[in-house]
Chain A
Amino acid sequence: MRSAGSPPPPSPRNKLRIGIPRVLNLWNTHQFWMGFLTSLGVDPRNVVFSSDTSEEQGRQFGKGRGTVDCCYPVKCISGHYGELVFGQKQKLDVLLSPMIYNLPSFLSGHVAKTLTCPRVMAAPENIKAGFIKEQDAFAEAGIKYVSPFVSLDEPRLVPKQLFAGMREAIPGLTYEETATAADAGFRALREFSDRLRKKSREVLEWCAREDRACLMVIARPYHMDPGIGHEIEVDLQAYGYPILWMQYFPIDADLMDWAFGEDIRAGHIKSAFDIRDVWPSSYSSNTNEILWGAKVAARIPWIACVIRMSSYECGMDQPTYTPVQQIVERSGTLFFSFQDLDSTKPSGSVKIRVETITHYLEKYAAAIISRKKAAAPPGCPLRPAA
């Protein structure tokens, strides 16, 4: 029997309830965290992700917690934290909000660095300040707040970082099992990405076979959040156009050789994932992928239209506006940009623009595909019979 005043014994791992805010680069690394925690013995049913972003969430749980004015994808995190701390029927034991320094991008090794945005990587420190500035809201709620700094593009370093950042939250954690769990996390993430890329290839092959247009969304991972990207691509899909997200574009060698082989032979780039020809300062992971997405969209005939999404005050997107548009439009591909997305869905203007986009697609998609096919090298692997 424990004496009065002594801390309660830690929950066994399978009982541990861990909350994770569904924000920023969690959108493209959540499978890592699930694989990691499951491997450590945490019951996946006890891993609670906050809801999709919504204005209501911010009003109910994040009010008065903001510390600085910045882009909405960062600002909205106060609502996510608040929901996890104050809005759970069954209390959480741990709030896990990783500071992700760099990302395991498919462009790694071909670009200078794969860093996350400075606001994105530091967001947990910023949001935390709003929860401790008067009193420690986590401690008052009996929640252990952990925010491991983690370099997901440096797998050798990850176990050390996660062990240091998580040992106070996971009972009896050892370095060895952290390393094993990190491997499991990377494996889960890889398998998930491979599965989605395979799906995207199927979509592309169908488009090539049927000579039908598809659309590519070029955006940051968190634009998949309905409260941030406002499901613009869903509205477009309702018109019958398949949607591809640049993050999960197929990167099979045959397709890459066909799309970028000429550029490599001409010396513009060293590999299919090299973007120096359009973006020399390739430090930021999501920015690099956006530039690469524009390049690949410009070279695939059935991508007749690119939809660019960008949030209000996104500093990382800002220098890319002109190059991305030029890369896409120069290839004859339609380009539409939804900039300055904020908390409120601009439903009226989205509807009008979606109608405009589909009008253009109906009118020009066939001609765009035909012209891009004519300009493309022979032997497209998406059409083996051709």
Chain B
Amino acid sequence: MTFINYASREINCKIVYYGPGLCGKTTNLQYIFDSTAPQARGKLISLATETDRTLFFDFMPLELGTVRGFKTRFHLYTVPGQVFYDASRKLILKGVDGVVFVADSQEERMDANIESLYNLEENLQSQGYDLMKIPYVLQLNKRDLGNIVPVEDLAAELQRKGEPVVEAVAATGVGVFDTLKAVAKQVLTELRKG
């Protein structure tokens, strides 16, 4: 839920990166963290297992700049991708303003993408949101790998409502900021509607 503080002149919005296990959600955040000036971002909090799999969530506050005299702060979250962490995923979607679905472009992960997208729709619904109405971006990650599905086929299978589709290689930063920009833009446009 967007939170606007007139006293400190701040807008705070919540963006959640969703997707199947090992699709690169944390890598997106890590890249943003590594390439942003320290004064524009807070700590990257990672609640991960010993093997670096996200256990509960990753979190990073990011300040983008000023709009109409208000500082815009985006709180970026990832969910744990593994199927059995569904209860945690639901919790993290509470109060969400925008969602990025990170799809794994590899052929063998197609079923996992579809399952995770279905799970996203279901979990949004359980929190009272509708994927068709919420700011939303589809990121096709790992475009540098050999065994990938063509963009058109991925979009045909995963695109839900004409949302922006961004090709990415999160590990090297390709498409990471384009994705963030696409979703942030939609969130701020929603604010204009009130």
Pairing of A with B: no
The interface of chain A, by Cβ under 8 A from chain B, is none
Interface residues of chain B, those whose CB is within 8 Å of chain A, are: none
